[in-house]
Amino acid sequence: MNIALIAHDLKKQDLIDFITAYKDIFTEHDLFATGTTGKMIANETGLTIHRFQSGPLGGDQQIGAKIADDEMDMIIFFRDPLTAQPHEPDVSALLRLCDVYKVPLATNEASAEILIRGLGSGWLDWRAIKEKRVRYDE
């Protein structure tokens, strides 16, 4: 599965700690991340990460394009709900695309743990059944 990893500045270390805790599961999948987050994850975990631009420079939109092209299976986005983000419209658009295309989305450690444990147990295998996905452009 293709998994996107995103974190606001004050949540980056939380995401790295989370990935470290579940590294055995993440190792089995293709990982994508916005710029700085991806660099930090790769440096601290040794995992291979495909990096997009930084979120405010278009990285959120690049991940959104992958969602719209049915090339992203899960998003883990550790958001900072207490700090205003200059690219909040991009963030909102990304969350909306997850709903439109039925892409599982976690925005904090609690929901991410449920998704990752489910992924490790095969509970998200329905994502691989392309014929059952409803495409809005067809």
Question: Residue 117: what residue type?
Answer: R
> What are 49's strand-pairing partners?
31
Active site residue 90: no
Residue 52 burial by CB count (10 A; 0-12/13-18/19+): exposed, middle or buried? Answer: buried
Q: Rounded to 5 degrees, what are φ and ψ at 55?
A: -50, -55
- Given 14, 24, 60, 80, which residue is catalytic? 60
Residues carrying an active site annotation: 60
